[in-house]
Copies of this chain bind each other. A is one copy, B any other.
């Protein structure tokens, strides 16, 4: 089973899928377009959120970062006069230090990620969307903003008028991602931000062709419930970019790519519209509050995949 994911929402569904599938049966292709350099360290927020979640180490209150975290290094970095706007925990810092060391030694991000995840006991395959650095830059009325600058430092206050993926033209689908997509029996687009989490994965040259070339069930889960994003700025972003802020609006962004769509019962009124896009619709409780929720939603998604596979 192969899932495409961004940060918190994607990580939750991935954890549900990992829990209900056989060990080793899940691959997660993760957005790396919000990766950035902080104090000389390579930080991969989405990869780490998925890794910590699948390792059972994630901070359950925030959804990102590590549980039982301390912030000694950040306090000292602040004492050195640096602007400590990115809330880097001490345990999390270890991840960035080791990743940076290994990348500097010439190891690919795919290999580095596999090593870190394996050491933490993750039973699934964690795959960056590409090994090359890609940077999401948002066009806003205040001028261009790097993604983490917008997302963390400015708390998503600015209106997003456009998205640029710097470096995407030089990115390649890693052979590990290609293999995973060739071998999977279904593809799942997690309930992640369609604009800045899923779109960058699909924008890696060759990725859309690879997905379109597989005649396996492809199911997306709506990150919009009742016209609002469950987390983050997806709703405002969709609106300012001219998309409809609804489950159907998200489905339309995936038209031609997915043949199954999972939305929340609150959005049952949109079923007909989504069906009209040639997708089989499943309405369920799409909000993941706790681990049983994740597993239940994962089962619904897998059941829709089976239905689609049975033709």
Contacts and interface: CB of A to CB of B under 8 A. Distances in A.
Contacts of A41: 97, 101
Interface stretch (A75-83, A210-218, A301-309): A75-83
A94 interface: yes
B94 A40 contact: no
Categorize the interface residue count of chain A. 20 to 34
A171 interface: no
A94 B76 contact: yes
A77 B90 contact: no
A40 B100 CA distance: 7
A253 interface: no
B72 A104 contact: no
Contacts of A75: 91, 94
A161 to B, nearest CB: 32
A76 B66 contact: yes
A19 interface: no
Interface string A104-119: 1000000000001001
Count of chain copies: 2
Nearest to A90: B72
A69 interface: yes
A120 to B, nearest CB: 7
A232 interface: no
Please indicate which of the listed interface residues A41, A73, A92 has the most CB atoms of chain B within 10 Å of its own CB.
A73
Contacts of A94: 72-77, 79-80
Contacts of A98: 39-40, 77, 80, 82
Interface string A42-77: 000000000000000000000000100110111111
A91 B119 contact: no
A69 B72 contact: yes
Given A40-B104, A90-B90, 5 more contacts: A39-B98, A40-B98, A73-B91, A79-B120, A80-B119
